[in-house]
DNA sequence: GCAGAAAATGAAAACGCTTGCATCATTTTG
DNA sequence: CAAAATGATGCAAGCGTTTTCATTTTCTGC
């Protein structure tokens, strides 16, 4: 590797133009004549020129850096979203940097400072709870392009990449209802998290639309981890209120629930149907294979990245509402007539 | 947010010193008098100063950026390693940027250029296959600090963060042997990947040390995905050579294998014992719960981050060989005397 | 109390790029 | 055909740091 990479000065010499022209040609400003531009571009290519991000950033140009800020990660979905983000930015010149806020962190403070310090060209937020990402967004300079992933934030609807959790959950619950189930329990995810809330709402709506009651005895809280699914079943059972199906906040909890049921001698799906969310890699390989609603984290990340780039360059972006795909496997069965 | 963040000039004015002194004080150079330093630091704090990474980078200082380059990710373990890396750098001032090389990418070219362009202070590589990360490392400037995660690279032993896959696999196989098993099959991971190779080697060594033969008929290739575990069992069974235990390259394949076995009416662990790797979140919640060797990706990432920082600041680092922890659950049983 | 050494500080030159303004070349217009 | 408008290019001033070198201050030993 060359110790001192070529600079625009080198290009300028080689192409017999001034460095300003080189800069303009490289940045696709319109004021360069076509043949000069190609000459410059050729010289640049020949020299293996790569812009010095720092110099550009300093000079007031773009930093080509995107700040991706999230609350504590640890949820499988957002891991894959990160992947999608990385891929989405690959080859675009932008580099995402990830900032993970510890819970309870002062988002207005340190985090913003870090973003400023790096002069990010845009930011993305990952995930949502009661206060995040609103607390961050509120402190952001108006003109900084931002995309929100995983929560539909008031006033930012056009800039949110979300899966239709409500609709998906509605669909899941409806599937259960169509199969004859009446006593449908739910093990919710962490209700501080937006996804959990939307899914719960979808469950309620589906029930109501079918003239079924939402019974507190059939509602159990979890935290998206398998263990809470398992404990959830025990809690549900302990209440004595019978149920024949359970909507689970995600696959992990569904699998925990499944285990708890099976250990108690309750068969899935013969006695109790189960449905999850996310379609994790393993969900197809448990017994019975889990019926679930698939959403692609990678896709979310990709879309968000593309959206943010559009936002930066064009000032606007088009973001589709991502639908979940129902993956019917074997954990849901028709209610046996008793 | 202030539109123009404070600069060292502002601090200098406020503390009645020159900007050079401010710079020195901020960077902990020894040549500043103690009281001047505190004065500067106070002023900086008061103004909410945050260094402009670009200016620093340009001026030849540090970029405070770490390049994390990997082959295609998609393996759950490396997702969590990424998390560990992010956390490991949190609060240190360094920001990792992730670069994912598509397979077949010319590592000597574009990728290096990007790293240079960003003037990274150090790099980390994630994962390993036949040629990666050697192909990258060879093109690196000598003086660039680098840490390798997931492969023990020749000549870089001191800079590799690896789990003892060989030892872990040896231990796994040994556990099976201790339980009386003689006919032990293996479903290997993708043999282009270092982890798969080491695990296979450990399996062979354990067998040999117990005077058992490594039989080609009991060796099956997989790709770390559950489906390949499932197919692996079918292939193994089709060969007709009986076996009573299977070492699987990771938990996903183990769970795929388990399903295949159960579907064929072969009981786990009564008829065939199964052992996996990685201890994925769900591994404890399948039936029977999977015996496995746990390794912590987050821990790997953390350690690597710390190591790299040491390397950058002190010129050397201490990296422990990470041991896997045997998690005994219920997928391994004593061989029934026939 | 002073010479000289050591320590602390300041002035100014990079670092590589963008960009406003001035300049020069090329068209267009009257 | 001259004058004005337009288009393309060059010049030079930053951007906020670090760092070298020179200068000033403080300390040491006599």
pLDDT in tens, A149-164: 999 899 999 999 999 9
Query: Sign of the C-alpha dihedral, residues B274, B276, B279, B283?
Result: negative
Q: Please tell me if residue B86 touches chain A, with a CB cutoff of 8 Å.
A: yes
B111 half-sphere exposure, CB direction, 13 A CA radius: 28
Q: What's the first-to-final CA gap in chain A, in angstroms?
A: 76
Q: Beta-strand (E) ranges in chain B?
A: 65-70, 95-100, 122-126, 146-149, 160-161, 184-188, 219-221, 245-248, 273-278, 291-294, 325-327
Q: What is the pLDDT of residue B317?
A: 92
What six digits make up the tokens of B167? 């030892």
Neighbour-count burial of A104, counting CB atoms closer than 10 A to its CB (0-12 exposed, 13-18 middle, 19+ buried) = exposed
Query: Which segment, A191-195, A263-267, A333-337, B114-118, is predicted with the most confidence on average?
Result: A263-267
Find which nucleotide's C1' atom is closest to B56's CA: D17
Q: Which fold has domain A65-163+297-324?
A: Rossmann fold (3.40.50)
Q: How does strand A184-188 pair with strand A219-221?
A: parallel
For residue A221, what pLDDT band results from cuts at 50, 70 and 90? very high
Contacts of A82 in chain B (CB under 8 A): 79, 82
Give yes or no for residue A114 having a pLDDT over 90.
no
**Shortest CB distance from A282 goes to which of B95, B112, B282?**
B282
Exposure letters A311-337 (e unless 16+ CB within 10 A, then b)? bbeeeebebeebebebbebbbbbebee
Least confident of A109-113, A136-140, B245-249: A109-113
Residues 6+ apart with CB under 8 A from B21: B12, B32, B36, B40
Nearest C-alpha neighbor of A107 from the set A138, A78, A128: A138
Q: Please tell me if residue B58 touches chain A, with a CB cutoff of 8 Å.
A: yes
Q: Please tell me if residue B48 touches chain A, with a CB cutoff of 8 Å.
A: yes
d(CA A32, CA B147): 44
Nearest C-alpha neighbor of A225 from the set A257, A203, A201: A257
Mean pLDDT of A242-248: 97
Give yes or no for residue A98 having a pLDDT over 60.
yes
Q: Please tell me if residue B46 touches chain A, with a CB cutoff of 8 Å.
A: no
State which residue has its Cα closest to the C1' atom of D9.
Answer: A21
Q: What is the pLDDT of residue B1?
A: 44
B210/chain A closest Cα distance in angstroms = 33
Q: Please tell me if residue A46 touches chain B, with a CB cutoff of 8 Å.
A: no
A17-36 residues touching B, CB cutoff 8 A: none
Task: Reply yes or no: is the peptide bond before residue B288 cis, omega within 30 of 0.
Answer: yes
What is the CATH number that goes with domain A165-294? 3.40.50.2300
What is the CATH number that goes with domain B8-51? 1.10.260.40
Mean pLDDT, chain A, whole residue set: 90
Subunit contact A117:B55, Cβ cutoff 8 A: no
Contacts of A299 in chain B (CB under 8 A): none
**Shortest CB distance from B117 goes to which of A51, A90, A117?**
A51
Contacts of A286 in chain B (CB under 8 A): 255, 259, 282, 286
Q: What is the pLDDT of residue B108?
A: 56
The answer to whether the B65-163+297-324 and B165-294 domains have the same CATH topology is yes
Of A21 and A106, more confident: A21
d(CA A264, CA A248): 18
Give yes or no for residue A308 having a pLDDT over 80.
yes
Residue A307 CA to D11 C1' — how many Å?
39
> What DSSP designation does A109 have?
I
Residue B152 CA to D12 C1' — how many Å?
53
Subunit contact A287:B259, Cβ cutoff 8 A: yes
Nearest C-alpha neighbor of B84 from the set A329, A72, A328: A72
Domain boundaries, chain A: 8-51, 65-163+297-324, 165-294
pLDDT tens sequence for chain B (338 residues)? 446 788 999 999 999 999 999 999 998 877 889 989 999 999 999 988 888 889 999 987 788 899 999 876 666 678 889 989 999 998 888 999 988 876 565 665 667 777 877 888 999 999 888 888 888 888 887 778 999 999 989 999 999 999 999 999 999 999 999 999 999 999 999 999 889 999 999 999 999 999 999 999 999 999 999 999 999 999 999 999 999 999 999 999 999 999 999 999 999 999 999 999 999 999 999 999 999 999 999 999 999 999 999 998 888 899 998 999 999 999 999 998 65
Contact A44, B47 (CB under 8 A): no
Find which nucleotide's C1' atom is closest to B40's CA: C9
């Amino acid at each position: 590797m060359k110790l001192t990479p070529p600079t625009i000065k080198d290009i300028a010499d080689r192409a017999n133009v001034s460095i300003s022209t080189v800069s303009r040609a490289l940045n696709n400003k319109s004021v360069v004549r076509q043949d000069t531009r190609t000459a410059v571009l050729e010289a640049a290519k020949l020299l293996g020129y790569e812009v010095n991000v720092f110099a550009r950033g300093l000079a007031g140009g773009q930093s080509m850096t995107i700040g991706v800020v999230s609350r504590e990660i640890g949820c499988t979905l957002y891991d894959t979203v990160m992947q999608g983000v990385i891929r989405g930015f690959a080859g675009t010149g932008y580099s995402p940097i990830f900032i993970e806020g510890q819970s309870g962190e002062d988002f207005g403070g340190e985090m913003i400072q870090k973003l400023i310090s790096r002069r990010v060209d845009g930011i993305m937020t990952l995930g949502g709870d009661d206060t995040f990402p609103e607390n961050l967004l509120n402190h952001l300079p108006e003109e900084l392009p931002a995309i929100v992933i995983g929560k539909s934030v008031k006033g930012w609807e056009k800039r949110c990449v979300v899966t239709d959790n409500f609709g998906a959950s509605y669909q899941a619950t409806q599937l259960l209802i169509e199969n004859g189930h009446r006593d449908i329990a739910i093990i919710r995810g962490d209700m501080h998290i937006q996804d959990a809330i939307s899914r719960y709402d979808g469950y309620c709506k589906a029930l109501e639309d079918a003239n079924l009651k939402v019974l507190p005895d059939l509602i159990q809280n979890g935290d998206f981890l398998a263990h809470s699914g398992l404990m959830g079943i025990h809690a549900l059972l302990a209440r004595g209120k019978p149920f024949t199906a359970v909507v689970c906040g995600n696959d992990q909890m569904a699998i925990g629930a499944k285990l708890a049921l099976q250990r108690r001698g309750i068969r899935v799906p013969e006695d109790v149907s189960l449905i999850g969310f996310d379609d994790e890699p393993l969900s197809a390989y448990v017994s019975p294979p889990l019926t679930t609603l698939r959403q692609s984290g990678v896709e979310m990340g990709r879309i968000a990245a593309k959206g943010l780039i559009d936002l930066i360059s064009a000032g606007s972006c088009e973001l589709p509402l991502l639908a979940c795909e129902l993956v019917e496997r074997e954990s849901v069965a028709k209610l046996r007539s008793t």
